[in-house]
Amino acid sequence: MTAVASTGFEYVLRLGDDRLVLGHRLSEWCGHAPILEEDIALANIALDLIGQATLLLGLAGKIEGTGRDADALAYLRDAIDFRNALLVELPKGDFGVTIVRQLFFSVFALLQAEALQRSSNGELAGIAAKAVKELRYHVRHTADWVLKLGGGTDESHRRTQTAVDDLWRYTGELFLGDDIDRAAAASGLGVDPSTLEKPWQTTVRDVLGRAGLTIPESPYMQRGGRTGRHTEHLGHMLTEMQILARSHPGASW
C-alpha cells in the first residue's frame, strides 16, 4: 500500500468506524426504548448509520486494495484496529446519555457530510450526499428531544445535564485533526475536522442553551480513539457484535 492509499484508507476508515460503532450502540435500544414510537425512531437512526458504515467501509477496503470488504473490516478487526472516536463507543447509558451523545455526533457528522459532498472521490461524495439527508433528520430528532428533556421534569433535566457533563470531554477528539486528516483534506479526498468545530459549537451551544443546560467549564478533553487507544467498553461491544461472524466464518443467510 502506497503512502497516499494508506492515508485515504485511514481517513475513510475513521468515517466508517464512527458510524458502525455508534449504530451498534443505538441498536442496543431495540426493544428497550421508553415508548414504541421512539424505539422505532432509534432503530431507524441506527440503521441509517450502519448503512453509511457499510458503504464507507466498503470504500475503505477498495482504497486499501488488499481484498478486505466491509464485512471483513467490521467483523474481523480487534479493538486496537478501530479508528472511531471515543465518544461513540461509550455505553448507551440512560436515555439522556443516548440522546445527548446522538445530538453531539449528528451535528458533527452532518457538517462533515455536507463538506464531503465536494470530495474529489466521487464515491465518497455520493455516500456523503445520501448521508446528509439522513443526518438532517437525526439532528432534528435529537435536538427536539434535548429541548424536551432539558425543559421537562426535574429528573429529565438532571439526567440530561449529567449526560452533558459526562460526555462533553469526549467532544474535543472529534475536531482534533492530525496528519492523516490534513493529508486527506489537502488531496481533496476529505475535510479537516478542525474546520468543523466552530459551526458545531454554534449549533450545539444554541440547542443546549435553549434547553436550559450548561456546558462544563473543564477544558480537559479525552482522546485516543483515532489512533486505536480505546476505552475498555469497545472490546466488550465488539465481542458481542462480532461473535456470529467469527464463530461461523464466511456464513451467509
Partner 1 sequence: MANETSTSRTDTSTATAGDSQWPLWEVFVQPPGGEPHEHAGSVHAVDAESALQNARDVYARRGEAVNIWVVRSSQITASTPEDMGPFFDPGNDKPYRHPQFYKVPRGIRM
Which residues make up the interface to partner 1 (CB under 8 A)? 35-38, 40-41, 44, 137, 140-141, 144, 148
Residue nearer to partner 1 on the CB measure, 30 or 243: 30
Three state DSSP letters for 102-170 = HHHHHHHHHHHHHHHCCCCCHHHHHHHHHHHHHHHHHHHHHHHHHHHHHCCCHHHHHHHHHHHHHHHHH
The answer to whether 84 and 225 have CB atoms below 8 angstroms apart is yes
Looking at the Cβ atoms of 19 and 141, the one nearer to partner 1 is 141
φ, ψ for residue 28 (rounded to 5)? -65, -15
Find, among 25, 29, 28, the residue nearest to 38 by Cα: 29
Question: In this complex, which beta carbon is closest to partner 1, that of residue 3 or of residue 35?
Answer: 35
Distance CA 121, CA 124 (A): 5
Distance between CA atoms of residues 39 and 4, nearest Å: 42
Which residue, 12 or 45, is less far from partner 1 as judged by CB? Answer: 45
Which grid coordinates belong to 141?
A: 430528532
Q: Smallest distance, Å, CB 117 to partner 1?
A: 22
Query: In terms of CB distance, is 6 or 156 closer to partner 1?
Result: 156
CB of 28 to partner 1, least distance (A): 18
In the complex, minimum distance from the CB of residue 34 to partner 1, in angstroms, rounded to a whole number: 10
Q: How far is the CB of 14 from partner 1 (least distance, A)?
A: 29
In the complex, what is the shortest distance from the CB of residue 99 to partner 1, in angstroms, rounded to a whole number? Answer: 13
